[in-house]
Chain A
Amino acid sequence: MTWTWFHRLGSPPHVYRLAGRLTPWFAWSAGLLIVAGLFGGLVLAPPDYQQGNGFRIIYVHAPTAWLSLMVYTWMGMAAAVGLIWRIKVAHAVAAACAPVGASFTAVALATGSLFGKPMWGTWWVWTPRLTSELLLLFLYLGYMGLRASFDDTQRADRASAVLAVVGIVNVPIVHYSVVWWNDLHQASSITLTGKDTIATSMLVPLLVSLLGFSLYFGAVLLVRLRAEILRRERAAAWIREALA
């Protein structure tokens, strides 16, 4: 088996073209799956016996909350790859991840707060899970702030990569906070091991929606990655050919 396809991922022009070709696939499948997931969740799934129709926000809340952590992991891994092997494209991926991840975190906080008002009677409570999600938002903002405070792209890349790798410590803390400090926030309904505590008619749309949102992340990441590569390689000759 040859690894040329893998090595070519380090080349900006190749990644630029590849990302351009893949974007429509990700975008269309994301659109279809999100529409299907939301239709299944908002129309087909039965109301919850306890939370009524209010539970339906999980079809947006759970995927965004899950992705807020997932994107951070991606960002940290891309940053580590860029730091260790000095691959420019990896730094561009990390830079493209941050605003998307921050948006997912903000949406997860906002939808959670909309759910909290009717269910818990308050927009905000200082429970570990909410607090650590808020801290995650600040980690994203700090990462973007650090990146913005350097004029030189390479130094910004490497300094923010160190921060992303250090910050990845926080991702398991957020994830396991439910297990460690069992609090007002309900425990996860879906686990890889053991029995799920959610009915199949509610679970299937959630998984479809989760997959849809993940593909949406992929599509947005590819578009941002292309913009990031264009910005970084603006002096290169291949850009003129690519844009011609």
Chain B
Amino acid sequence: MAARLVIARDLKLAFRRPEQLLHPLAFFVLVTTLFPLSVGPESSILRTLAPGALWVAALLAALLALDFLFRDDAQDGTLEQYALSGQSLTWLLLGKTAAHWLLTGVPLSVMAPLMGYTLGVPGRASVGIILTVALGSLALSFIGSIGAALTLGARRGGMLLAILILPLAAPILIFGSKATELAIRGETYVAPMELLGAIVVLSFTLAPLAAAAAVRISLE
């Protein structure tokens, strides 16, 4: 219940300050644009690169967005109030992370097939790309919430967050880009999706606990 209120509050705040919603998308589009600029406009090469390019760009965009996940709320004392509220901090952070995914992961997954199309990916792969990026970014939001909470009290948080989270996010990238590649080739992508789903379940159940512990440490 409290988690649902947190989701509603975070969504409302984000829609009042839409740059939080738009910046990751703009970053994603720009990074994907860098691939044709750097390897050349040859469509056969771009099509081979497409799953990797989309995933690396989506991963970096989601990672940059993670930096805002707790920072504003930590600065204005909201997180402290959450911790003192008597509600389970784990559930509240689960709500915050879910809201963060709705605000970054879902828009990114909708944008991904469009950018894929510019890289020569056929339109029939769109559903597959949306599903894989949505699932992968959900896992990344949960795993990333640990890093975002840990770097709250740290100096130079943003860069450190990337170094902490990217090694842990490697399996998401591996299975996610594999699923996207299969979807683009028009094959069944159930197997890597199931592995992604397993990562989501694991991170969904454990990451909020670790993030709550990390937030408590940062409030000490």
Contacts and interface: CB of A to CB of B under 8 A. Distances in A.
A159 B218 contact: yes
Contacts of A83: 213
Given A135-B170, A146-B154, A155 B220 contact: yes
How big is chain A's contact interface, by range? Answer: 20 to 34
Interface in B161-207: 163-164, 166-168, 170-171
Interface in A103-159: 131-132, 135-136, 138-139, 141-142, 145-146, 149-150, 154-155, 158-159
B155 interface: yes
Per DSSP, chain A at the interface is helix
B214 interface: yes
Nearest to B214: A162
Contacts of A162: 146, 150, 210, 213-214, 217
A31 interface: no
Given A155-B153, A165-B210, A135 B167 contact: yes
A142 B164 contact: yes
Contacts of B150: 146, 159, 162-163
A166 B167 contact: no
Given A155-B217, A159-B218, A150 B160 contact: no
B163 A141 contact: yes
9 contacts: A138-B163, A150-B155, A159-B214, A159-B218, A162-B146, A163-B164, A166-B146, A167-B167, A173-B171
Interface of A: 83, 131-132, 135-136, 138-139, 141-142, 145-146, 149-150, 154-155, 158-159, 162-163, 165-167, 169-170, 173
